[in-house]
Amino acid sequence: MIDPIRSTPFEEKLRAAMRAPQPRPEFLESLHARLMQLPPLPAPARRPGVASRRMRWAVFALVLLALAGALMIIGPQRVSAAFRRLFGFVPGVGIVEQSAPIRVLAEPVSLTRDGVTVSVNSAVLTGDQTRLDFGVSGVPLSAYPRDEVVSGCLDHEYLRLPDGTQLEANAPIPPHVNEATFVLPCIFNTLPGTTPTNWELSLRFVPAPPDLTIMPVIELTPSIQVSPLSSQAVPLVQETTQASTEQTPAVVIEKMIETEDGYILIGAFRPQTPQGSWAQVTGVPQIRDANGKPVPYTHPQEIELPFDQDLEKNGGFPFAFQFKAADLTYPLTIEFSGVLISEADPQATADLTLDVGLNPQAGQVWTLDREIQLAGYTLKLVSVTALSDGYSFELATGPEISGVSVQIEGHTAVGGGGGGGIGTGTLHTSLSYAQLPIGELKIILSNLTVASDTQIWRGTWQPASPRTDWPSPTPAPYPLCLNADSIANLQPLPAGLYGRALVTELNPDPAIALVNFDGSQRQTLAPNNWRGALSPEGQFLAYEGVEGIVILNLVGGNLNPLPNTSGRDLHWSPDGKQIAYVTAGDMYGIFVASLGDDQRRQLSNLGYEAIAGWSSDGKLLYYAIPDSSGKGWMLRAVDVATGEGRDLFVLENSSRKAPMPAISPDGNWVAYRGADNGSLYLIRINGADGHVVIEQPSPGYAISGIVWGPDGGLLGVSMVAPEIPQGEIILMQIESCEAYVLPGVVGELNGLLIP
C-alpha cells in the first residue's frame, strides 16, 4: 500500500487505486416540529389603585421629558442608533432584545433513558422571551406512526418554576428566578409505549458572561434607482438613504448585522405581479460584487424569518444572507430569477374516461397518448399507472405550461404529489385514496397554469462606510483544496489516466451505470435502480432491486438476489464476504448479511442510520446518527461480531439532511458533507484535525456522492447545481489538493474502479 503521508504524483496515486465502494446514503432526518403551544398558567394580578396609576403617569411624563432632552442634546440620528441597539444578534441563538440584563444556561444538561437522549443545549433569557435549544436523539423510526391518519403524542414541552408555575418554553422568566425544570411530557409524535415519557431536566441560569458576542442589528431604509439595463426598478439600499415613493422595490434589505468577518443581510423578495399571477423563483439567488465576482453566502439558521401571508401571496418570501466581506468591491448586486405564473382560464376543464377494470394491480400501466384541449392549450395524457392506493398520471405539455390539476370524478384524494413543470415539457401527478377507485374512471383536468419568459429581479446594497480592515483568515494547518474560483477553473482529467466510475444517472430515468473516466464505453448495469456498491475487487455490484438486495456479477452477468434482505446504503466488507445495509420497514436499523450463508445480524435499531464504512480489518462498522446537541451527526462504531457499540465524536457542521460520511480504506480519515450541503470536511478517525477541503462554490451547489480511493489519498466527489443538474464528478488528491473533473461523466458517484 502506498504511504498516504508521502507525496506522490497524481497519476501514480490514481493507478494505484484499487477499490472505492462508497455509495451515497439517503436519509431524511426526523423533524421534531412543534405543532402545539402549551398555554401558561397566568399569575394573579393586582388591579392598581388611583395612586398607583398617578405615579405611573408621572414616571411616563418624566421619561418623555428625558427623551425630548436627549433629542435636543445628541440629535435624532444618535437616538435612532441607540434604539436600534436594543436588538442584538447572538451567533447560534438569533436576534434578541437587550433592554434587560441577559442570562444564559449555566451548562448544558442531558438525560438518557432506554437509548433515547434529551439534551437542553443552551438558553438565552431576555426581558421578553426565553430562547431555549433542546434536542432529541436515538428515537427509532418504529416509534413513529406509519399511517398518516394516525398521530403520536402532541404534548408540548414547558418550563416549571420552583413555585410550581408552568410557562411556555419560550416565555420570559422573571428576573429573580434562576432555576427551572424543563419538562418534556413525551417525544413529539411518538406512539404510546414506544419511548420513555415524562422527561425532567433541571436548569440553572446565570448572568451572561462579559465576552458574550452581541452584534447590533441595524434597521435600514430603502430607496429606488432605475437600472439603465432594464425598465425594472432596482432598489439601492444604504444605511443613510431615505425611503422613496417612486416604486416599491422587489428586493429589499431591511436589516443589517456586521459580523466578525462580514455581514448578514435580512430582507424580503417582494415582487409586484399583475392581477391573477404570482412570481416563482426558479434559480438560486445570486450575489455578486461590483466586479462581477460571485459572493458565496449561507442562510443563518438561527435567524427566524417572519411569516407574511400577503408577501407569499405574490410569490415573495423573506431571506437572510450571510457572507464574508474581505476583498469585496461595492455595491453588491442581489439577483433573483424566475417566472410569472398565471391561470390560463380558471373555469376551463377537460375530461376523458378510462376503464381500469375491477382489479387493477400496482404497477399496471395504461398507455393512452390522448391529446386534450384545455384553456386553449394542447396536452397529451401519455399514461396512467396504478399504485397500491391510487394512480399516477404522466402528461406531455408545452414548455410554457407549469401545472394542471387532475381529479377522478366522485373520488376524493387523501394525498398526492407531482413533478416536472416549467420548461420540462412533462408533468407527473399522483393521487392516493383511502379506497382505490376501480371500474370506469372519469378523469378531469382543470386549473391549467402557464409560465412567462424568465424574469430578473435585482437589488443592490452597500454599507454606509465600507471597511478595509477586515481581519485576514487565520492560516489553517490543512489547506482548503477547492473553492468557487478553483472549481470553476478545474481542468479535465489528463488523457491516459484510465479508470471507470460507477454512477447513478438521473435522466431520463434513474439507472446505475459504469462509465470510463473520459466518458466513453458507458454500460448500463441496473436500469430503473438507484445507488449501487462495488465489491472491493470490482467484480460484483450490489444494489437494491424490487426483490431485495441483488448481486450482479460484472464478469459473467448473472444476477443473485440475497434471500431475506432489503435495504439501502449498501457497504461491502473489506474481504467482500459481507454486506452492511440499512432497512426501515418491518425491521429497522443496520443489518449485516453474509454472502456464503443466510445469516443476518442486526447491529442497530433506528432505521435512519448513515453507514460510513468498515474498519480495514472488517471488525468494526462505522455509522452516524443525528446528535441531540444540535452540533451535527454523531459518529459511532459497532463491533460486528458482538454488536457492542460506542459513540466516537460529533461530525461538527455536518449536513442536517445527510452527511454522507465515508471512512477512508486505510482507516485514517472520515469525509462528510457540510451543513450547507455543498462543502466537504475531513476529520481523523480519532476526532482530531477537522477541516474543510472543499468550500461550497456558490449557493445551489450540493454534494451528491463521496467515494474514497483504495489508499486513502484519492477522493471522488459528485456535485450538482442548477446549471449542472445531472452532476459533475471531481477526483482530488487530499495531500496535494491536485484535482480534475471527469469529462463526459455525469450522475451521483457510487464507486470507482481502477485497474
Last residue of a domain, one of 183, 207, 231: 207
* Average pLDDT value for residue range 532-538: 93
Is the confidence at residue 53, as pLDDT, over 80? no
Tell me, yes or no, whether 663 and 551 share the same domain.
yes
Taking the C-alpha atoms of residue 504 and residue 531, their distance in angstroms, rounded to an integer, is 6
Is the confidence at residue 244, as pLDDT, over 90? no
Residue 392 contacts residue 405 (beta carbons within 8 Å): no
Taking the C-alpha atoms of residue 109 and residue 201, their distance in angstroms, rounded to an integer, is 7
Last residue of a domain, one of 145, 174, 207: 207
* Average pLDDT value for residue range 666-694: 95
Is the confidence at residue 700, as pLDDT, over 60? yes
The DSSP bridge partners found for residue 20 are 752
Q: Name the CA radius of gyration of the chain, rounded.
A: 29
Tell me, yes or no, whether 307 and 225 share the same domain.
yes
Which residues, in sequence order, are CB contacts of 94 under 8 Å at separation 6+? 131, 302, 303, 304
Q: Which pLDDT does position 247 carry in this prediction?
A: 55
Q: Residue 223 sits in a domain of what CATH number?
A: 2.60.40
Give the Å distances, CA to CA, from 34 to 126, 130, 153: 22, 16, 11
Q: Which pLDDT does position 222 carry in this prediction?
A: 56
Strand duo 455-461 + 233-238: pairing: parallel
**Total domains present in the chain:** 4
Tell me, yes or no, whether 336 and 354 share the same domain.
no
The secondary structure element, H or E, covering residue 572 is strand 568-572
Q: Which pLDDT does position 67 carry in this prediction?
A: 36
Give the Å distances, CA to CA, from 660 to 21, 177, 680: 13, 44, 10
Tell me, yes or no, whether 436 and 512 share the same domain.
no
The DSSP bridge partners found for residue 594 are 578
Q: Give the pLDDT confidence of 575-596 residue by residue, as tens digits.
A: 999 999 999 878 899 999 998 8
Residue 551 contacts residue 541 (beta carbons within 8 Å): yes
Residue 608 contacts residue 579 (beta carbons within 8 Å): no
Which residues, in sequence order, are CB contacts of 203 under 8 Å at separation 6+? 105, 106, 109, 120, 123, 159, 179, 180, 181, 182
Q: Which pLDDT does position 85 carry in this prediction?
A: 55
Tell me, yes or no, whether 713 and 588 share the same domain.
yes
Residue 215 contacts residue 88 (beta carbons within 8 Å): yes
Q: Give the pLDDT confidence of 357-393 residue by residue, as tens digits.
A: 999 998 899 999 999 999 999 999 999 999 989 999 9
Is the bond leading into 331 cis (omega within 30 degrees of zero)?
yes
As a whole number, the mean pLDDT across the chain is 84
Is the confidence at residue 160, as pLDDT, over 70? yes
What domain range includes position 597? 18-30+476-753
Higher pLDDT, 195 or 54: 195
Residue at 390 is within a domain = yes
Residue at 68 is within a domain = no
Residue at 432 is within a domain = yes
Tell me, yes or no, whether 436 and 329 share the same domain.
no
Q: Which of 479, 472, 473 is nearest to 680 (CA)?
A: 479
Last residue of a domain, one of 451, 485, 511: 451
Q: Which pLDDT does position 51 carry in this prediction?
A: 34
* Average pLDDT value for residue range 330-341: 95
One-letter amino acid at 629 equals S
Residue at 77 is within a domain = no
Q: Residue 669 sits in a domain of what CATH number?
A: 2.120.10.30
Report the predicted TM-score, pTM, of the whole model to 2 decimal places: 0.78
Strand duo 87-90 + 94-97: pairing: antiparallel
Tell me, yes or no, whether 609 and 729 share the same domain.
yes
